[in-house]
Structure 1
Amino acid sequence: MKIRAMFIDMDGTLLTASNEISRRNMEAIDQLLSKGIQVFLATGRHYEVTSPYHQELGLRTPMICLNGAAIHDAKTGRALQTRTVQLNEERFHHLTATNTCNVLIHTENGLYCKEINEEIEYWTNVGQIPPRYVGDLREANYKDVLKYSVRTGAPSHDFSALFKNEADVINWNDGFELVAPNVSKWSAIKSILHDYRLHPKEVVAIGDGPNDLEMLKFAGTGVAMGNASEQVQATADFVTGHHEQDGLAEFIDRYLLPLHGSHVSRIG
């Protein structure tokens, strides 16, 4: 089946460790666009730190942000779809207060956090919007939460499991994230497929993290980066190079561009 769209993760996939799009990745995406293949960004980032890269690539497609909890319009930035997560707030803050961690709360109207760190400083610089609140989150007046992020600095599976009955949990090496049940990048992609009249088999998805697992599994062709974990690589149909060696462009150049207009064969 002809490939008509590609969904691309940002951190560890599109971007280098210095948060830049390499020239080779830029050129490969330009080639896709010139062949009429739709390109979408699908990221755990919020809109404000996704949009500048979306504009740099010259994309006109909706942005999937916050692991699928929000979809934003390319032109206006307006949220086309949001999925809020409901936690027992008193319990959440009690548990996070008794563990050494930073807490980031992404809401429909901005970011609330316990502490400022280097990542948030970068977000503020790129998005030009500082957090709405920094400090004791029990005193913050927030609502409409799209994603909770708990940064412990280490894998925290036992800790994150305490919330599995309230939210979908995404475990990282430095903590975990919580989104509404059944929210993922793939759930957002399905909405876009419907709107764009795309079949899953016409879609390629590429990523490197645990928040990419569903889209790599259910897209017609799932591609894992060389820097992805063994679990992510095992889920994918293809494994390409490391994000610091233009693994995204490598896959596009080696498989997509030559095979555009024909089938991309699954492997493994």
Structure 2
Amino acid sequence: MYKLIAIDIDGTLINDRKELTNEVIDAIQSAKAKGVKVVISTGRPIGGVLSLIEELKLNEEDEYVITYNGAVVQSTLTNEVISEVSLTYQDLKELYELSIQVQSPMHFFDSESIYTPNKDINKYTVHESHINQVPLHYRTIDEIPEDMLIPKVMFIDEPERLQKVIDAIPNSFREKYAMVQSAPFFLEILHPSVSKGNAVKQLAEKLSIKREEVICIGDGENDLSMVEYAGCGVAMGNAVSSIKEAAQFETLSNNENGVAYAIEKLVLN
């Protein structure tokens, strides 16, 4: 029997209109009624998840959320941080210099806000601030406090331009950091030990849940580590090929209530 379901948001939990449908809500509530833990696992910051947590009633005792692609795991009831693995100010300086070298706009987060050192603020930075409902600040690197904890840095650009940026990143940086493309216009850069898979594993161990009792559902490259970790990895019908290859079960797309279909087939029946 499955005891934990970890679910990505964008392209997975919600449809392309950014809606959480009644079918998905009902399936998650039915899984909860059977005693299954349901955990949102996302690249978003906590501010971009709160409305979904409330709507899904995932803010009760002993419930958790995974944010920043696994950099932070926290209680949804008390906000107590269970684990946090961040980049340092020195990392930020190195990555800023890299962004200049590869000619990519960038932004980064602390626990409450999004920051950009680029005076001409990129439209995808504005989009990220808006969709996650977090304040956006322009700051030079010299204005950033040296003790700031930074869950993730993002390089951002038009999809065809971003691929050239990725190709230009030296291997030394690929070896030093975890890098994952979460959208055609987003490259996320994190501490090397950070991944959704590691975060789900830590949470499962905390809850004394075995790997084979875990379902992970996702669609993008940043979901690959948790789909590979899960006892049952689930690929959305709209997932990239690497997710479909790694998964044990393929569900319908996010526009066809794929999360609800997977829960009904794997948990409720």
Q: What interval of TM-score do these two structures reach, taking the shorter chain for normalisation? A: 0.7 to 0.9
Q: What is residue 84 of structure 2 aligned with on the other side?
A: 82
Post-superposition offset of 1:91: 3.5
Q: What is residue 184 of structure 1 aligned with on the other side?
A: 195
Post-superposition offset of 1:201: 0.5
Q: Retained in 1: the 8 A contact 2:201–2:229? A: no
Secondary structure of the residue aligned to 2:79 is coil
Gaps of 5+ in 1: 259-268
The answer to whether structure 1 residue 107 and structure 2 residue 110 are counterparts is yes
Superposition RMSD in Å? 2.1
Q: What is residue 46 of structure 1 aligned with on the other side?
A: 45
The answer to whether structure 1 residue 147 and structure 2 residue 152 are counterparts is yes
Secondary structure of the residue aligned to 2:245 is helix
Post-superposition offset of 1:150: 0.6
The answer to whether structure 1 residue 206 and structure 2 residue 217 are counterparts is yes
Post-superposition offset of 1:195: 1.6
Secondary structure of the residue aligned to 1:29 is helix
Deviations 1:42-76 (A, max 9, x none): 00000111121011100131100001000121113
Length, aligned pairs only: 255
Post-superposition offset of 1:96: 1.4
In the superposition, the TM-score normalised over structure 2's length comes to 0.86
Distance 2:51 2:261 in 1: 24
Q: What is residue 261 of structure 1 aligned with on the other side?
A: none
Distance 1:112 1:216 in 2: 30
Q: What is residue 195 of structure 1 aligned with on the other side?
A: 206
Deviating more after overlay: 170-179 vs 134-143: 134-143
Secondary structure of the residue aligned to 2:151 is strand
Distance 1:79 1:32 in 2: 25
Q: What is residue 134 of structure 1 aligned with on the other side?
A: 138
Q: Retained in 1: the 8 A contact 2:7–2:40? A: yes
Deviations 1:161-216 (A, max 9, x none): 55213211113432411111121111111221122110010110000111111111
Distance 1:34 1:244 in 2: 25
Q: What is residue 167 of structure 2 aligned with on the other side?
A: 158
- Output the amino acid matched with 1:56: E
Q: Retained in 2: the 8 A contact 1:112–1:137? A: no
Distance 1:117 1:56 in 2: 29
- Output the amino acid matched with 1:231: S
Q: State, as a whole percentage, how many aligned pairs show the same letter.
A: 25
Post-superposition offset of 1:140: 3.6
Post-superposition offset of 1:36: 1.3
Query: CA 1:170 to 1:125, structure 2 compared with 1: closer, same or farther past 3 Å?
Result: closer
Q: Retained in 2: the 8 A contact 1:150–1:175? A: yes
Q: Retained in 2: the 8 A contact 1:93–1:138? A: no
Post-superposition offset of 1:252: 1.5
Distance 2:84 2:33 in 1: 31
Output aligned runs, 1:1-268, within 5 Å: 2-59=1-58, 60=60, 61-86=63-88, 88-113=91-116, 114=118, 115=121, 117=123, 120=126, 123-124=129-130, 127=133, 129-131=134-136, 133-141=137-145, 143-154=148-159, 155=163, 156-162=165-171, 163-172=173-182, 173-258=184-269
Secondary structure of the residue aligned to 1:169 is strand
Q: Retained in 2: the 8 A contact 1:47–1:72? A: no
Distance 1:211 1:90 in 2: 24
Q: Retained in 1: the 8 A contact 2:70–2:199? A: yes
Secondary structure of the residue aligned to 1:164 is helix
Q: Retained in 2: the 8 A contact 1:105–1:147? A: yes
Secondary structure of the residue aligned to 2:181 is strand
Secondary structure of the residue aligned to 2:176 is coil
In the superposition, the TM-score normalised over structure 1's length comes to 0.86
- Output the amino acid matched with 1:201: E
Deviating more after overlay: 77-86 vs 42-51: 77-86
Deviations 1:130-171 (A, max 9, x none): 12x225445444621111111122224323455213211113
Secondary structure of the residue aligned to 1:178 is strand
